[in-house]
Amino acid sequence: MIKTFNSYFVTLLGLGKIKFIPGTIGSLATVIILYVIFHIFNVSSNFVLLSLVVIFIYSFYAVSSYIKDNKNKDPREIVIDELIGQAIPIYSYEISHGTEKSPDEAIIFYCICFILFRFFDIVKPFPVSFFDKNFKNSFGVIMDDVCAGLYVILSLICFMILSSYFI
């Protein structure tokens, strides 16, 4: 029972088992889910944060359990790490400035976050590559995407600072 639950959990209900670009599909699903949560259902950001923390903590166990008997310690079908990494910049955007975000503005920022996250997750600049190469366990699987999500935030902050000087 728990093995089946963990399989559905780490593959985002089986999305990761789609043969073509499962990481991108997992990231896109996260963008859609978070948009619906924040802009259609208007769920409290505190509840979303609590949910993300629980997902983050449980994912270490679930990924570890899923890869235990697998030779590949970072199989493509594991996309819970994409959910965690992609959620970092989107959640940060949603809580930034404490103002209401229009749905149109949110779509633009969600798309930017999606593109930047996929870029950093694929290119793997340091320390994303460090976690990916040196930790062949659940920690490495998850933390490389956490770092990619943090790179998105850093990129957006740098862009805002630079644009304030030139606009």
Cα 148 off chain centre by: 8
Q: What is the pTM of this model?
A: 0.93
Q: Which range of residues forms the domain containing residue 46?
A: 2-166
Residue-by-residue pLDDT tens, the chain, 167 positions: 899 999 999 999 999 999 999 999 999 999 999 999 999 999 999 999 999 999 999 999 999 999 998 877 788 999 999 999 999 999 999 998 767 778 899 999 999 999 999 999 999 999 999 998 999 899 999 999 999 999 999 999 999 999 988 87
Of how many residues is the chain composed?
A: 167
Number of domains in the chain: 1
Residues 136 and 72: their CA atoms lie apart, in Å, by 9
